[in-house]
Amino acid sequence: MTLGILVTLVLAGAVLLVANAMSGTTSDGESPWRAFRAGWAARREPSPAVDDEPVDLKLVEFLRVASDEGEGYLQVDELSEGLQRARDRAARALPSLHRS
């Protein structure tokens, strides 16, 4: 049990080190290590955005307010192009899988 926890903590530290090495900064200019430390320090204080009063809202009303009429998150054309490129790369790497 203790060995499993120790291994898990070592792996979590390794993930933090790799994340820090791979991405120098996040979109707001903060390194992953600093973001982790800030989150760890802030865990004791509740977020000021948390509202104590529950909001009674019907699902239909919520979806109407939250709906976005813009482009969807998933773009089928981009997805199919990416899958086609991956298929082509796999076919070049494994010629026995190439179909006409």
Q: Residue 23: its pLDDT value, please?
A: 65
Q: Residue 7: its pLDDT value, please?
A: 93
User: Which residues, given as ranges, of the chain have pLDDT below 50?
Assistant: none
CA distance to 19, 22, 33, 60, 71, per residue, from 38 (Å)? 16, 20, 9, 37, 34
Q: Residue 79: its pLDDT value, please?
A: 86
Q: Which two tokens stand for residue 24?
A: 């120098």
**Given CA atoms 62, 65, 70, 73 in this order, what sign does their dihedral have?**
negative
Q: Are 80 and 74 in contact (CB under 8 A)?
A: no
Q: Residue 44: its pLDDT value, please?
A: 78
What's this model's pTM, rounded to 2 decimal places? 0.32
Q: Which two tokens stand for residue 39?
A: 């989150």
Q: Which two tokens stand for residue 35?
A: 């973001």
